[in-house]
Amino acid sequence: METLTTDILVVGGGTGGTAAVIQAARRGANVVLVSEFAWLGGMLTSAGVTAPDGNELEAWQTGIWGAFLRELERRQPEGLDHGWVSFFTYDPQVGAEIFADWVAELPNLKWIAGQVPLEVLRSENQVIGVRFADYTIYAKVTLDGTELGDLLALGEIPHRWGWELQAEFGEPSAPVESNSLIETYPVQAPTWVVVMRDVGEGNQAAMIPAPPHYHPELFKDAWESYGGEKFLNYGRLPGDRFMINWPIHGNDYGEGVERLIGSESDKQQFLQEARWHSQGFAHFIQTHLGLRYGLAENIFPPSQTFYSIGRGAYALHPYYREGRRLKGVTTVREQDLLPIAQGCVAALPIWVNAQGCEQAGTICDAIAIGNYANDHHYPSGDIKLAPKSIQWGGRWTGTPFTIPYRALIPETINGFLACEKNISVSHMANGTTRLQPCVLGIGQAAGMAAALCIEQNCQPRDLPGRSLQDALLTDAIAPTAVIPLFNQPIAHPEWLYWQRFYLNQPDAYPGSGSAPTQQECNQRTMDCDLTTTQLKLSGIFNRLSNQQYELFITAPTSLISRTVSLVTLNADIDHLFECLDAEQTIVVAGRINYAGNWFLVQHCHAIQK
């Protein structure tokens, strides 16, 4: 048993934990990361969800999330436009290599893989370290970056598991009383992602055996509303491979999900069943869509726990959408994430400092941004949820919201921060705060907060929120937005001004989500060097309806489809689309997505009539 002492200990190499260690170490703190798996990144890599959702607009591509996207673009020459569920799909190994390289660059960061926490060490109401099989590690600040909030249970840190009734938080979509759904599925269903491949028409892949207890009726009509080809292209990856993470009669698995927090044998039994369920779905796909579709090879490192045909096709662990959730200083509720009346953004989190704090008065303590729609997964089907979407850029997107710093801090326990899906949120709110880019932002904020606590010799609950926000906004490597503003990408010359303005005057935050910067119908210059994944098109612009645009392509004429939907992630181009006349000739540059039949416009020039 080796004993280590460090400033900051992060347990779990998930999405949030990975961002936390990178940010804390970049700030200069001595950090130890202990992970169960050989890959870092959690949902984004080892769980195989390489089609991330949310924070896709250019204005939200900041911080470690934005840096991750830029590095994916650099390392994956085939581009990121393959599937239609996300603007970014990539090889999970490329994502894992990015995080591993970033960690290796930091000499003050020690990474230990292959260990799980066994005991949380406490001195009265303060966490002081964690014991593992081969290590005991003491730290001034400990962060829980595990997939299921393991430290919350081991440390007896107050937490939640399961649903809250409407009476508890007044959430509009919460059930009024207990029912069979919430009793059967206390948390959202995990999914064991499997990657399949197309070996080509006329060829046959190796047969995928049916697993024990195979029930093909579970998968009946899985792609009935889409067709087989569109279903597969949902999560299409480079190299004619497909990420299988399908919610409609697919490989979500939630039967007896409470076993995940039971005994170790109970947990392993659930995991084996979830793995078999995905194997069954892959077998069903192959037997119904053709033998040209088989399991991909060598996508993930081989699992030591589960072995079956197609080694390397299954993610290292399930995509956990929900686990234990901290009881924090504040709890993020569904209504905190919904758009304000007549607006398209959620209100900023505002609170009044208690006596004794350094700052007094009304304060906005936003530290991370999310924008995905509220998305819940249960094997019995969807549930009715309050709407949380808008039309923007020629498509639907989620309304933006922010995460308050108080949701990372336990009610009474010191020396501890949550940095994953395990922050203090309700079950209903977890449906949108759990998405990968939002969790990266939470992890980055938690890592920065922990480093500042070391610098200022204070507890996380005593850290002045403004010092954390300023550190995030001005970070030398990956500055990140904390206020959602549609028309303020990080490259905008007024970006930092407006971020600080609304932190200082949160009551002035506009319901439109746009800073009052004069916006004209300016055309994005076409004098640009196109990358290998970009294309230039000419054609006739057509407005089908509000926020629905189409281009009839006149050049080049070699494209398979002559008509394509126009979408954008850029606020200037969104505004330009609203100004263009119907049947106007335009030239656009950007990226085409054949799976979704859309063209992502990054530059636009209108030809004057």
Q: Which domains does the chain have, with CATH numbers?
A: 2-162+321-508 (3.50.50.60), 194-295 (no CATH), 535-606 (2.40.50.140)
Task: Report how far residue 299's alpha carbon sits from residue 18's, in angstroms, rounded to the nearest whole number.
Answer: 20
Write down the residue that tokens 């200069």 correspond to. Answer: 28
- CB 178: neighbour CB atoms within 10 A? 10
Cis upstream peptide for 556 (omega within 30°): yes
DSSP notation for 97-164: HHHHHHHHT-TTEEEEES----EEEEETTEEEEEE-SSEEEEEEEEEE--TT-HHHHHTT--EE-S--
312: left (phi over 0), alpha (psi -120 to 50) or beta: left
Give me the pLDDT at residue 176, please.
Answer: 97
249: left (phi over 0), alpha (psi -120 to 50) or beta: left
Give me the pLDDT at residue 608, please.
Answer: 72
What is the arithmetic mean of pLDDT over 46-70? 97
Task: Report how far residue 498's alpha carbon sits from residue 476's, in angstroms, rounded to the nearest whole number.
Answer: 19
Q: Which residues pair with 195 in a beta bridge?
A: 243
Asked if 16 and 442 count as a contact pair (C-beta separation under 8 A), the reply is yes
Residue 358 pLDDT grade (very low, low, confident, very high; cuts 50, 70, 90): very low
Closest CA to 53 of 295, 319, 415, 293: 319
Residue 61 pLDDT grade (very low, low, confident, very high; cuts 50, 70, 90): very high
- Residue 363 buriedness (CB in 10 A; 0-12 / 13-18 / 19+): buried
- Kindly report the average pLDDT of the chain as a whole number: 94
Give me the pLDDT at residue 357, please.
Answer: 46
Tell me, what amino acid is at 367? Answer: I
Give me the pLDDT at residue 552, please.
Answer: 95
Tell me, what amino acid is at 480? Answer: T
Q: Is the pLDDT of residue 531 over 80?
A: no
Write down the residue that tokens 């209100």 correspond to. Answer: 347
Q: Is the pLDDT of residue 439 over 70?
A: yes
Q: Is the pLDDT of residue 306 over 70?
A: no
What is the arithmetic mean of pLDDT over 529-541? 83
Give me the pLDDT at residue 302, please.
Answer: 79
Residues 6 or more apart whose CB falls under 8 angstroms from that of 85 comprise: 51, 53, 234, 235
* H/E stretch holding 241: strand 241-244
Give me the pLDDT at residue 69, please.
Answer: 98
For CA atoms 90, 93, 95, 97, the dihedral sign is negative
pTM confidence score: 0.96
319: left (phi over 0), alpha (psi -120 to 50) or beta: beta
Q: Is the pLDDT of residue 305 over 80?
A: no
Residue 576 pLDDT grade (very low, low, confident, very high; cuts 50, 70, 90): very high
pLDDT tens-digit series, residues 507-529 = 999 999 999 987 666 665 555 56
Strands 159-160 and 293-295: unpaired
Asked if 429 and 336 count as a contact pair (C-beta separation under 8 A), the reply is yes
Calculate the alpha carbon distances from 168 to 35, 258, 423, 506 in Å: 35, 22, 18, 27
Q: Is the pLDDT of residue 363 over 90?
A: no
Task: Report how far residue 124's alpha carbon sits from residue 365's, in angstroms, rounded to the nearest whole number.
Answer: 28
Q: Is the pLDDT of residue 311 over 90?
A: no
Strands 548-555 and 563-567: antiparallel
pLDDT tens-digit series, residues 421-438 = 999 999 999 999 999 999
Asked if 73 and 79 count as a contact pair (C-beta separation under 8 A), the reply is yes
Calculate the alpha carbon distances from 439 to 16, 20, 388 in Å: 5, 10, 19
Task: Report how far residue 363's alpha carbon sits from residue 466's, in angstroms, rounded to the nearest whole number.
Answer: 9
